[in-house]
Structure 1
Amino acid sequence: MLALMALRDEAFVEYFARIVRRFPVVVVDECQDLSAEQLAIIRGLDRFGMRFHFVGDLNQSIYGFRKADPARVQKLLNDLNFRELSLTANWRSSQTIVNLCSDLLNIRRGNGNPEIEPLKPKLIQYQKCPSELMQRITELTKGYENVVVVARGHRTLQRLTRGRVLNPVEELAMSCVSVESNNLEAVRNAINTFARWLASKLALEVVPMSLHRPIEIDSTLVWRQFIFNCLKFLSTCGASDVELTWKQWAALTKQGIRQLSCQPFMLAEIAQKLADLNEVNLIAPKGLGAEKLSTRLTCVEQQP
């Protein structure tokens, strides 16, 4: 809004003239997602002589939630006499995907990447447990070097790999085990999970979207390092051993958590609140006490 106000103010005429001299041509990517305000700014700069090169596809607009309207973009293209140059080669997708999208949009088919192997989708259904799918998926993907499993979220992946969503105690165990993983993403998830568990357990007031960081801590980096140190300490107490039974794990981890408040890496800003961990209780998930963690946390890769 400030930019629009300045464009309408005579006091800034020379300022915008200098900007146009410095940037005579501006390239705008994903032009289909330009908002009404951004389009107005472009019109204002055009009056000063700035020229624009747009890259985009009006059929791919996804920012309707912020009132991006492809029709408004098209009107600007017409008003400013843009010349359209079609990109008909798609290097990201196979010919099958290009054909499908073209048919859905009722447009002329372009060229897909011939180096991408055309594959027909397969529908796999399970009878009782979602984790039944994994063996079949493994069989279907043999022979491929790079395999990606795409899901709506982590909980969906949990159901595929373990049959159901983990409860809080199981999530805590997963974070303790995953901190020793070779997989960096698994370690990140472990840190996030333990931070969430700790904030919930102590009813901490946290900063949103900042790793459940307590408001008393100014640095997310400091908080992340603290959480990592906590998990590594619990690992030394035996909490990362998947050969333990759940009953054994709960007993060892409970003692480790109760010792966190007196460790040298403790943060003074929340030391008093963390003292409540001295009385924390932890019990094995119902019905799993005699089972090993490895039978439940099957997809965790440990350090050798």
Structure 2
Amino acid sequence: MSNLEKAESLARTICGKPDTVKVNECHRTFGQRNPLCNEYDACRILEKSQEQIDYVFSSSTNNVFLSACPGSGKTEVVGLKAAYTIHQWNQPGGMAVLTFTNNAADIINRRLSQFTGIEKPGYPHFVGTIDSWLHGYIAHPFAHLKTGYEGRDGDRSIRIVENSTTSDFLYSFRAKYVIAGTGNPSANQYHLEVGPTGQKYVFSSGNQVADTARNAAPLQAYQISDLNRTKTNFWKSGFATYQDVEILTLDVLSQMPILCRLLANRFPFMIIDECQDLSWIQIQILDKLRQQGTVLHLVGDLNQAIYDFKRVNPDLVKSFTETQNFTALPLSNNYRSCQPIINICHRVVGSTSVEKSERTQSVERPGVCVIFPANQMHLLPVWFGKYLNQIGCDKNKSAIVARNWNNVSKMRPSSNTIARGPQMGLAMALHLWKSGEHQAIDDALKYIGRFVSDKYFSEYSANPRQHYCPECIASQLLWRLFLYRVLNSCCIENSLLSDLNQTWSNWSKNVRGQFGGIVRAHRRVILDSSTGILPEFLDLDGNAFRTLSQMGSKTVLKTLPPFNKREEVDNLRITTIHSVKGETLDAILLVSAPSKQGTPDGHWTQWLEDSTKEAARLAYVASSRPKHLLAWAIPTPINEPAKKRIRDIGFHIIEMNNKP
């Protein structure tokens, strides 16, 4: 069948195109009345490449590995393939489309809705995260067969406990023996890691010092036995961590082949998006289903595997697809980036694949490298904003990224140094809130969230990624609303807290007198979202909020770290590499850590040391996001051989202190 014939068949199936209308005439005739097409300038079927159409028509009875380069329209094609499969579905069971984040699942669901005309395709099919699928179809209904959990009122579902949780009930699930002098770990603070070379216990409590010591300590037989017993009791009581769920799932499928066969009949066809992020144990779970007849389509880019901390290794995915003789199909046309950016990305990861750009180069130098003094990272947003203005790139569609939040914080409007201590944190929260800066407001919420959590919710663990929302608050949205109202009340004109031109001594006195009343006034916002009894929001005393040492006579505002003004930064988005994965941007500035100290993969030299390591893949993921401009920022000192290496990759070098 020719590509045009495939397009005809696809348009009839997906769009309902009449046989009397040719596909190349459909958009301006039948398509004008079709909601799938009428909002687009061209036919969504005809615009697909030969490779994209070939995958949509690939067999749903053969295992396939679709290697998709960045910007290849992967999500669109997955949605189209899934919709085409649903339209033709004529067997028991259903199809599962799995990915790794709720956001990615939502995007695929939107594509499916467009191509099927169904608001949200449901039973017998499933579209969602791999975690939700494992939990819903295996762990919750069947894990009790492995754990012995008797359930509550007939409910034998697993209750997930976060690794960092320190709730009082976990004292019942503490190991008997101390590990590496760091105390007795709770059952939620470790898990059994299973891999191709064996298995071992890994500690992941969120306490970096304790985890590092425990993971480095050789475990004795009696300690391993103790950890086994503690974890077994944890499971038998109906609790598990996310890592435990995968272990339990694999055990259930391995020990109950009839259940595995029934599950394969329930889902005879599965598409796994972003397959490079599969862990070894997830691959084993999928292979159990494959052995019972489930057809697997793995879709992704192995060079975008950037989750080493989850023990993700793209070589395992590659080996699995090759060993099991998956049919290899490519998506090699890049519709996102211009060719010079693509070439840089290929050199970073040592790729020899042929990837063609479908985008015209719009700026004279698509690849630039700015050299900045190592102690002036906080000035990079100002430089980048001016450079984007000069070349005509949209700041609102651009971003600055770094490997970790520590370096992000040095560049965000909040400060070039992090406010230390609760007193400075509260003052910084009010200062940032009054500025009105978009990203400064987010930082203000984090500062105030940490302050309130530390002072009033010290008995509960807090989530730093959700503005330090305590675990006893069920709604993170209502927590943010609560913080928003607290900040507004603190910053009104007649509030004695709002005036940061006071001395620390006077301001601290006013905080002790007013802050408790402010949080009490807004307590009702989070009362309904509480999973327990909220603490009383009492006035702070001299021990809870004292004047900073040797700062009593100094003005609060003058002691706060500076932050960039709106006219200098123009609300440029500043975030981490992981946060922009999967996005398309006009321009990006990838910022190196100031030195190699303390980071295995955040310094530019680490990105170029070994093209097979995750450091290179991190740089590749960030560098493959932009359409028009890719910029790297690397710190001084840098010698001439290093500059030559940068130029050989494809960059034009600029000094930050010189005019762009």
Q: Normalised by the size of structure 1, how large is the TM-score?
A: 0.75
Provide the residue aligned with 2:157 in structure 1.
none
After superposition, residues 150-299 of structure 1 pair within 5 angstroms as: 150-151=401-402, 152-153=404-405, 156-158=408-410, 162-168=415-421, 169-180=423-434, 182=436, 185-200=439-454, 204-209=458-463, 211-213=467-469, 220-221=476-477, 223-236=479-492, 237=495, 239-240=497-498, 245-247=501-503, 251-252=506-507, 254-262=509-517, 263-266=520-523, 269-271=534-536, 274-277=538-541, 280-282=545-547, 289=555, 296-299=562-565
Equivalent residue runs for 1:6-85 within 5 Å: 6-9=252-255, 13=258, 15-85=259-329
8 A Cα contact 1:229 1:265, kept in partner: yes
RMSD between superposed Cα atoms in Å: 3.9
1:87-140 C-alpha deviation (Å, 9 max, x unpaired): 211234332232123334241331134246452313242497555555533432
When residues 253 and 63 of structure 1 are mapped into structure 2, their CA distance, relative to the original with a 3 A threshold, is same
Equivalent of 1:109, from 354, 374, 377? 354
Q: For 2:475 and 2:315, locate their aligned partners in 1 and report how far apart those are by CA, in whole Å.
A: 44
Distance of 2:377 and 2:496 partners within structure 1:
30
Q: Report if the CA contact (8 A) 2:276-2:317 is conserved.
A: yes
Amino acid at match of 1:228: Y
Q: Distance in 1 between matches of 2:374 and 2:251?
A: 62
* C-alpha distance in 1 between matches for 2:554 and 2:376: 18
User: Aligned to 1:54, what secondary structure does the other structure show?
Assistant: strand
CA contact (8 A) 2:250 2:285 kept: yes
Aligned identity (percent) is: 24
| 1:41-86 deviation per Cα after TM superposition (whole angstroms, max 9, x unaligned) | 2222122211011112333333344443334323322333211112
CA distance in 1, matches of 2:418, 2:409: 9
Report the residue type matching 2:249 in the other structure.
A
CA distance in 2, matches of 1:4, 1:291: 57
Aligned partner of 2:393: which letter?
Y
| Counterpart mapping for 1:131-146 below 5 A | 131-133=378-380, 135-142=382-389, 143-146=392-395
Q: Aligned partners of 2:263 and 2:476: how far apart in 1? A: 37
1:261-287 CA deviation, whole Å, 9 max, x = no partner? Answer: 234334783226x33347734469589
In 2 relative to 1, CA 294–43 (structure 1 residues): closer, same or farther, beyond 3 Å?
closer
Of Structure 1 and Structure 2, which has the larger fraction of its residues in strand?
2
1:119 maps to which residue? Answer: 366
Q: Which runs of 5+ in 2 are unaligned?
A: 1-246, 525-532, 568-660
One-letter amino acid of the structure 1 residue matched with residue 394 of structure 2: E
The higher-RCO structure (CA 8 Å, 6+ apart) is 2
Aligned equivalents of 1:2 and 1:295: distance in 2? 49
TM-score normalised by L of structure 2: 0.38
Amino acid at match of 2:300: G
Give the letter aligned to residue 265 of structure 1.
H
- Specify which structure has the higher proportion of helix: 1
* Count of aligned pairs: 295
Shift in Å, 1:175 = 1.1
Tell me how far apart the structure 2 counterparts of residues 7 and 269 of structure 1 sit (CA, whole Å).
42
CA spacing shift, 1:60–1:186, aligned 2, 3 Å: same
